[in-house]
Structure 1
């Protein structure tokens, strides 16, 4: 998209700045996000999340499909403010979550077949296929993203491409901030709160329907199977599976269900794998005896203008267990799960 560069270069010392620059073959954009690499990578690879930012300012993304494996297709549509559709597609060449993505980029039709760039008004000599490399670097809870788009130096669209990338990354930054999960530590408790862009009846259903819960429970890149008997006294069982096949089972009992306002349920992690259990023990050396491997989750759903203020209050056996679970990534795990919940609810 040939857009005039309005912002120019920005000092990358600022934590949420984009820095456009040019080398002979590459348009390079650098942006630092106030989120860890796992979360930023997830927003780069979940189709429903990509649709919230994958277009320049004023544009929209009405369609996006991702087949995330080497050789898989990335197919999307960007719609201009005037209502014109620009279809594109890529082929993933390298996926190293959450550090690196490499994929081709080309114009396509609605069916996903490559088309001549001239069909969308590109200049003579615009390449039919380019390559994009995205590098995600963690920096104390933040992520420095470097986008390297390999395009010929002589094509006139480079300036507009540079500006388009900068605006897209600004939109991603805004989305990450707007969907942040806030964490509060209290006596024997951790409280997570987040505003979900969906009515509470839909959000509540996604917690109490096994098929829906299986689609979002767990960090980015995990799969999940779920069985539940969603009634007071009923039980549930969830098995999260990482990309390398490690399973993390959870089970619990529903103590209270008030649709669509409140859920109270236990959460037992005693079946987690041995490596995880050993890490937990290392973080629990201050505890006398064997601590309970169970917490109590109280989840509330509050309607706020068509959105849902979601609060998850998790109570542990002791402050030491609470601190150990936080150290092992509990907060980031919930943040990524709720990202996936946002994606499911659209």
Structure 2
């Protein structure tokens, strides 16, 4: 198993950052990658329970994820399971994601821990995916 950690700092309050990473109306502004559409989703990370996201890349490739929100501790952390679906809609191996929000001198820090990935190659792809997609989009979204 492999784990990744990504840390970003934002010039917003911890409460604002927590809303951005837990409330569906906010998440839809940064989830996925530039140019992707998200026609089907339940991306409410503000309460314990199931979530899912079906996205389409610019080339029409389908990306489907689902899991369970396992804990919500406002404005400090939210955790959820994560599993990709294949073309036959079978859910693959489960990993775990935690967003932790900390107060900084200038605002707030987001620590993204993605754990239990099935190997270094998969962890590397997830780190690239998070960094070049959602985390970059979240930075732009919160910068206004």
Common fold, TM-score beyond 0.5?
yes
Question: Is 1:304 aligned to 2:101, yes or no?
Answer: no
User: Which residue does the alignment assign to 1:197?
Assistant: 11
Question: Is 1:254 aligned to 2:69, yes or no?
Answer: yes
Q: CA deviation at 1:311?
A: 0.7
Q: CA deviation at 1:223?
A: 2.5
Aligned Cα root-mean-square deviation (Å): 2.2
Cα distance in structure 1, aligned partners of 2:105 and 2:53: 32
Return the index of the structure with the highest Cα Rg.
1
User: Which residue does the alignment assign to 1:104?
Assistant: none
Structure ranking higher in strand proportion: 2
Equivalent of residue 21 in structure 2, options 201, 207, 220: 207
Cα distance in structure 2, aligned partners of 1:338 and 1:228: 16
Aligned residues between the structures: 138
Equivalent of residue 122 in structure 2, options 325, 328, 335: 325
User: Which residue does the alignment assign to 1:223?
Assistant: 37
Q: CA deviation at 1:324?
A: 2.6
Q: CA deviation at 1:243?
A: 0.7
Q: CA deviation at 1:302?
A: 0.5
Q: CA deviation at 1:226?
A: 2.7
Query: Aligned in 2, Cα 1:197/1:333: closer, same or farther, shift over 3 Å?
Result: farther
Cα distance in structure 1, aligned partners of 2:37 and 2:139: 16
Asked if 1 retains the 8 angstrom alpha-carbon contact of 2:5 and 2:113, the reply is yes
Asked if 1 retains the 8 angstrom alpha-carbon contact of 2:22 and 2:78, the reply is no
Equivalent of residue 334 in structure 1, options 104, 117, 130: 130
Query: Aligned in 2, Cα 1:244/1:302: closer, same or farther, shift over 3 Å?
Result: same
State how 1:93-172 maps to structure 2 within 5 Å. Answer: none
Contiguous gaps of at least 5 residues in structure 2:
none
Query: Aligned in 2, Cα 1:228/1:340: closer, same or farther, shift over 3 Å?
Result: closer
Asked if 2 retains the 8 angstrom alpha-carbon contact of 1:250 and 1:272, the reply is no
User: Which residue does the alignment assign to 1:314?
Assistant: 114
Larger RCO, structure (CA 8 Å, separation 6 or more): 2
Cα distance in structure 2, aligned partners of 1:238 and 1:306: 32
Contiguous gaps of at least 5 residues in structure 1:
1-186, 278-291
State how 1:283-298 maps to structure 2 within 5 Å. Answer: 293-298=93-98
Q: Helix, strand or coil: the match of 2:58? A: coil
Q: Helix, strand or coil: the match of 1:218? A: coil
Cα distance in structure 2, aligned partners of 1:333 and 1:197: 23
Please list the CA deviations of residues 100-120 of structure 1 after superposition, one character each: whole Å capped at 9, or x if unmatched. Answer: xxxxxxxxxxxxxxxxxxxxx
Q: CA deviation at 1:221?
A: 2.4
Asked if 1 retains the 8 angstrom alpha-carbon contact of 2:50 and 2:69, the reply is yes
